[in-house]
Every structure is written in structure tokens, then in C-alpha cells.
Amino acid sequence: MLDQNSINNLMNNLYEDEWVNYALAHSSDIPTLLLELEKETNQKVLQPRMLCSPLQGRLLSLFSRLLKPRKILEIGTYTGYGSLCLAEGLQNLGELHTIDCNEELTSIQEKYFNKSNYKNNIHSHLGIAIDVIPKIEGPFDLVFIDADKVNYERYFEQVIFKTRKGGLIISDNVLWSGKVLRLAKHKDESTNALKAYNKKLKKDSRIKNLLLPFRDGLTISHVL
């Protein structure tokens, strides 16, 4: 028999699903190519939960369309869903550079990048992001950080000097399934790193910062 807390959590999840479905139903349609990519990722790729959610994808697309970036950097490609969302706002000759270290995902990335309208704008880099970022020339108008959490602070320091004033640095998963709200175990490096990262961004005078409790937490940093 469920206790009251379990019932409350279940009801909250049901309401959340309803809210998300309502929001999607009253937002601009998701491109067919993204629906195909979402389906294939769920069918063929491990840990499909890592995929950018449809609503988050529309938010990334909107940020990109508002900025009209000439150059975007994405750290953490996964299957390329977020890449395609970010590319929607690129200028005609704009570039999106996306980095991932998982060679097994390159085939699905290339498949959908090549099917998109942005196949000539997207440049994939296979390797360790810490090593690849210095090799990509800035300035960036928009940066999306969605990779290994223990290195978020290092990524931020690498990219902020390459991001133009007025640009955005967006960091994903900063609530880490709510783990940042609790006392982390000593060996939980990802949670401890994210807690330190969130505190760092709050105090950083080079940015204006907003942490949105959106899905798994999304921090929008406006570079001053």
C-alpha cells in the first residue's frame, strides 16, 4: 500500500506530464526530423534519457533564433538532437561546432546532420572536450554545456574568454535530479562538482545568471 508521500509524488508526476503535454501542444511544432531522431535514439541507443527533451529543444531553438548566432559551441553532442535545435537560429553562413568523445554515436549524428538543412553548418569534433575547445576559434555567440559534470567549471573557464559580450552560456543538468539539494556523498563527484559550479556562477561578476528549474535544471549565463 502506498503511503501519502508516494501518492503525492505520483500525482505530481502526473500533473507534470500533463503540463508538459499542454505546453508542447501550444508551442510551435517540432520538426519531423527531430521526431525521427528521438524515436531512433529511444530504440537503439543506451541511456536515451540523456536526450534533450522536446520542450527543452524548443527552448534552445528559441534562444538561438533570438541571438541569430554566427558561431555556436556545443560541448556534448550525444545523438545530435540539441545540435539540430541550436542550429535553427544560425545565420546563413553560421557555424555550429559540437564535441563528443563517444565514437559509437558518430553514425547516428552524421545520419541526421546530413538529412538536415544545416549539414554544411555543423562541424563535429570527436575527442576530449578539454583538448578540443582550445583548437576551435571564437568568438562564440552561444555555448551549450552538456557533458561530464565534473568538468563543467573547466569548460566554463575555457569558453567564457571566447564568448562575446552579450552572448549566452547555457549549462544543462545543474539540478542533477535534485541531488544538489541534498548532502552529497564524499565519492559522488558529479553532484559535488555541480554544487560547486552553481555557487561559482552565482558569484561570477563576468555574467548575469539565472538557474531555471526546467527539467533537470538549466542555467542561462549572460556574458557582460
Per-residue model confidence as pLDDT tens digits over 131-154: 999 999 999 999 999 999 999 999
Per-residue model confidence as pLDDT tens digits over 48-74: 888 999 999 999 999 999 999 999 999
Report CA-CA distances (Å) from 45 to 29, 41, 149.
Answer: 25, 5, 21
Per-residue model confidence as pLDDT tens digits over 189-214: 999 999 999 999 999 999 999 999 98
Look up residue 181 and give its three cell numbers: 539539494
Q: Comparing C-alpha atoms, which of 210, 201, 207 is closest to residue 222?
A: 207
Confidence of residue 13 (pLDDT cuts 50, 70, 90): low
User: What is d(CA 143, CA 77) in angstroms, rounded to the nearest whole number?
Assistant: 12
- Provide the whole-model pTM: 0.92
Mean per-residue pLDDT, 155-169: 98
Residue where the block lists cell 531522431: 37
